[in-house]
Amino acid sequence: MSHDHHHETKPESATSPLAARVRAMEALLVEKGVVTEAEIQDNVAYMDSRSPANGAKLVARAWVNEGFKTRLLSDGRAAAVEFGIDAVASPELVVVENTPEVHNLIVCTLCSCYPRNVLGRPPDWYKSFEYRSRAVREPRAVMREFGFEPPEGTRVAVHDSTADVRYMVLPMRPAGTGGMDEEGLAGLVTRDCLIGVDAPRARAAAGA
């Protein structure tokens, strides 16, 4: 199973068959007056402004602010809006907390449902049939391929995203980060941590 572990998904090649079909559909919609070219470009720019950095900032705030953490776990979408992230029109966002007893992993077994309004576009591997099937059957094996596995005795909970409910992981704060500010803490949280195939590393906090 091949993964792009630490890089954002690259845009579809402008010359690919899929890109050509998308452009043809866009042109037809513009021709029919359903949307304007400016509206399409505004939507593209909006989605490009969404990134895992938003989720990392939410996590860092939750690590340092217990009240915000409670709100984030209670209503992820409202907490994101409170933080200044435009998630009002997004589906319900459920934030699940990792603990020493439970490690959470996110998947969409049917397609590629993902909290795009908060985290942007999902990585290619998240949309693959291989990940969608194996994350449910053998989650620990999948995580090992990302270089991570929860300790023995920690239960793995797999959450299946839907059109109505999207999930994001609140990872555990690494040991040895007591003196770090929010910006530094957010830098420890990768996209993969927010999906649950990885976790923030204590060695990263120590500058290793």
Q: Specify whether 111 is catalytic.
A: yes
Provide the sign of the torsion angle of the four alpha carbons 18, 23, 24, 28, taken in this order: positive
Task: Please calculate the CA angle 154-5-199 and round it to the nearest 5 degrees.
Answer: 30
Q: Specify whether 13 is catalytic.
A: no
Please report the beta strands in 32-181, taking only residues with DSSP state E, as ranges in sequence order: 92-97, 102-107, 155-160, 165-170
3-state SS, one letter per residue, for 122-155: CCHHHHCHHHHHHHHHCHHHHHHHCCCCCCCCCE
The active-site residue, picked from 90, 108, 161, 193, is 108
Q: Specify whether 193 is catalytic.
A: no
Using CA atoms in the order 117, 204, 63, 50, what is the torsion angle rounded to 10 degrees? Answer: -10
Q: Specify whether 113 is catalytic.
A: yes
The active-site residue, picked from 13, 16, 74, 111, is 111
| CA distances in angstroms from 112 to 17, 76, 108, 123, 203, listed in the order given | 20, 19, 5, 10, 32
Say how many Å lie between the first and final Cα of the chain, rounded: 27
Catalytic residues: 108, 111-113
